[in-house]
Chains A and B, each alone.
Chain A
Amino acid sequence: MSNQTVISLEEVNSSKTSIVNRKRKTGKLHLILKGFILPAIIVIIWELSGALELISPTLLPRPSVIFTTFVGLILTGDLIGHFQISLIRAIGGFLLGGTLGLLLGLAVGFKQNIEQTVDPMIQMLRTIPTLAVIPLFILWFGFGEVSKILLIAKGAFFPLYVNTFLGIRSVDSKLFDVAKVLEFSRWKQITYLILPASLPNILLGLRLSLGVAWLALVAAELMGSSQGVGYLITDARQFSKTDIVFVGIIIFAVFGKVSDSLVKIFERKLLKWQDNFQG
């Protein structure tokens, strides 16, 4: 029969990996550097224009000043304390909202009955802007942790809900036919077909939820608090300490990116079977 089977998978893979390895050695560093070119140019121009006193230091402090402030804040221990509080809020709110979003998304995806009763209401709630409910949350729960965590949870809920629902409903019906022919039990249908097929969407929802949780955190902390990175920013603004405002912003940016990258690594591991356009 076929001659093509003489070539085993190992050979195909080994030739693939040798090419990939060669590319990787020169390519990986190259790739990372490529992402740094633009920020580096901006930082250099920024620093120079500050040093030449083209921009007022209260409006836009130089990167070197921001960096020294950053180091100073770490040394006094202030920053780490604020950061910890913010992180706990973000994780708490994300876990609460994300879990609920995932579970409800699964329920609505699996049962048309539940979809018809629950989904219209959720879609209505989804359109309410987070900022609009802040006053209500303050009235109900005060300025404490409860209102902050609930606000973050509200933000994190919807992306996971919508994408989980979408993922389940976009499972290929042709594969359902296969499952019927092979006599899958309901349980196997869920674990072998529906969940793996909707995993790409669920992971996308996870990433979006994390991003929204981070945004909601800032909104929650700006609405009034005595701790956290958001508080650090509002407090610094009142005293026109622009450098501290920048430190806060950069922390949000860096940790937003780190959490996103973590999910992406996870994604690459779980979705290695995907065969998509790589760009």
Chain B
Amino acid sequence: MSCLLEINQLNKSFVKERERIHVLKDIDLQVKEGEFITVIGTSGCGKSTLLKAISGLDTDYSGEIQLDGERVTGPGIKQGVIFQEPRLFPWLTVERNIAANLSLNEIEIKKNVEKLINLVRLVGFEKAYPKELSGGMAQRVSIARALLRKPKILLLDEPFGALDAFTRSHMQEALLDIWREEKTSMVFVTHDIDEAIYLGNKIVIMSSRPGTIQKIVSIDLPFPRKRTTKSLLEYRHLVLSEFEKVEELELVDSAGI
């Protein structure tokens, strides 16, 4: 498997009240084609900032991000982005939201939109407006919208954070289905340990202030996984103990001040 996304020495900081604050420090990360990476960390550890940098929406950093051998200089359809909120256009129906700037009059696009509506299980809702959808449905529309552009990589920023537990596990299954079918590489940011372990091939554990990669844990379990298996629980302990280390470090840090 070749390397799809390569992040080298990514640093980001800004000055606030004459004090330089490091948001991201020396981030190195490689994502291979077809991999499902989950990024986990406490809030404020810079995981969303990292995703924003990969998406190209934020280019104010030092270091280099390469996608498919090319330097990322700005946002584009190569990096599909799923935001925390679905961010649909409220004046467009579901199918037109998925097509967005592409014309549904083109047979090829129309066919692909239909296929995706089927994939995200929204058949019957093609003509609905976003206000008629539930949170989970709206998020599925936004996933379909990103997939229509055949992205090299899909970047998800706590996409299921606002959903209730049941809908969330439905959505996780749906995302894994999509991943199996489309083989799109994923970078999935979350603060939910179980979600991170259940979905990912690899978990990137981040610590905060400055945001650095604490550890990368490979989850060598085959898909489909069962939520209740013992091995998942073992991984949970492993990840949790990493977090405890982070917390101890931070306690020491703050004790020093």
Q: Is B87 an interface residue (CB 8 A)?
A: yes
Chain B proximity mask over A181-196: 1 for CB below 8 Å, otherwise 0: 1111100100011001
Which segment, of B130-138, B181-189, B203-211, B244-252, faces chain A?
A: B130-138
Q: Is A76 an interface residue (CB 8 A)?
A: no
Whether A185 contacts B101 by the Cβ 8 Å rule is yes
User: Which residues in chain B, 63-84, are within 8 Å of chain A measured between CB atoms?
Assistant: 74-77, 79-81, 83
Whether B134 contacts A9 by the Cβ 8 Å rule is no
User: Which residues in chain A, 39-69, are within 8 Å of chain B measured between CB atoms?
Assistant: none
Whether A5 contacts B123 by the Cβ 8 Å rule is yes
Q: Quick one: given A9-B127, A174-B87, are A181 and B122 in contact (CB under 8 Å)?
A: no
Nearest neighbor of B102 in chain A, beta-carbon distance: A182
Whether B124 contacts A181 by the Cβ 8 Å rule is no
Chain B residues near A183 (CB-CB < 8 A) = 75-77, 101, 149
Q: Is A26 an interface residue (CB 8 A)?
A: no
User: Which residues in chain B, 93-141, are within 8 Å of chain A measured between CB atoms?
Assistant: 100-101, 121-125, 127-132, 134, 136-137
Chain A residues near B173 (CB-CB < 8 A) = 1
Chain A residues near B136 (CB-CB < 8 A) = 2, 4
Alpha-carbon separation in the docked complex, A2 to B137 (Å)? 10
Whether B75 contacts A181 by the Cβ 8 Å rule is yes
Alpha-carbon separation in the docked complex, A210 to B158 (Å)? 47
Q: Quick one: given A4-B134, A181-B57, are A196 and B101 in contact (CB under 8 Å)?
A: no
Count A-side interface residues using an 8 Å CB cutoff. 29
Alpha-carbon separation in the docked complex, A183 to B74 (Å)? 10
Q: Is B222 an interface residue (CB 8 A)?
A: no
Nearest neighbor of A184 in chain B, beta-carbon distance: B101
Whether B101 contacts A181 by the Cβ 8 Å rule is no
User: Which residues in chain B, 122-172, are within 8 Å of chain A measured between CB atoms?
Assistant: 122-125, 127-132, 134, 136-137, 145-146, 149, 167, 170
Chain A residues near B121 (CB-CB < 8 A) = 1-2, 5
Whether A273 contacts B90 by the Cβ 8 Å rule is yes
Chain A residues near B87 (CB-CB < 8 A) = 174-175, 177-178
Nearest neighbor of B155 in chain A, beta-carbon distance: A181
Alpha-carbon separation in the docked complex, A12 to B74 (Å)? 42
Q: Is B232 an interface residue (CB 8 A)?
A: no
Which of A8, A178, A185 has the largest number of chain B CB atoms within 10 A? Answer: A178
Chain B proximity mask over A133-166: 1 for CB below 8 Å, otherwise 0: 0000000000000000000000000000000000
User: Which of A8, A177, A188 meets B57, CB within 8 Å?
Assistant: A177
Whether A273 contacts B91 by the Cβ 8 Å rule is yes
Alpha-carbon separation in the docked complex, A137 to B242 (Å)? 79
Whether B75 contacts A180 by the Cβ 8 Å rule is yes
Whether B80 contacts A181 by the Cβ 8 Å rule is yes
What is the minimal beta-carbon distance from B177 to any residue of chain A, in angstroms? 7
Nearest neighbor of B149 in chain A, beta-carbon distance: A182
Alpha-carbon separation in the docked complex, A192 to B77 (Å)? 17
User: Which of A5, A181, A184, A274 meets B79, CB within 8 Å?
Assistant: A181
Q: Quick one: given A175-B89, A180-B75, A181-B55, are A8 and B101 in contact (CB under 8 Å)?
A: no
Q: Quick one: given A1-B170, A2-B170, A177-B57, are A182 and B122 in contact (CB under 8 Å)?
A: no
Q: Give chain B's interface residues, CB within 8 Å of chain A.
A: 55, 57, 74-77, 79-81, 83, 85, 87, 89-92, 100-101, 121-125, 127-132, 134, 136-137, 145-146, 149, 167, 170, 173-174, 177
Q: Give chain A's interface residues, CB within 8 Å of chain B.
A: 1-2, 4-5, 8-10, 12, 174-175, 177-185, 188, 192-193, 196-197, 199, 272-275
Q: What 13 new A-B contacts, CB under 8 Å, besides A2-B121, A8-B123, A275-B131?
A: A1-B177, A2-B167, A5-B125, A174-B85, A181-B81, A183-B76, A183-B149, A184-B101, A192-B89, A192-B92, A192-B101, A199-B91, A273-B131
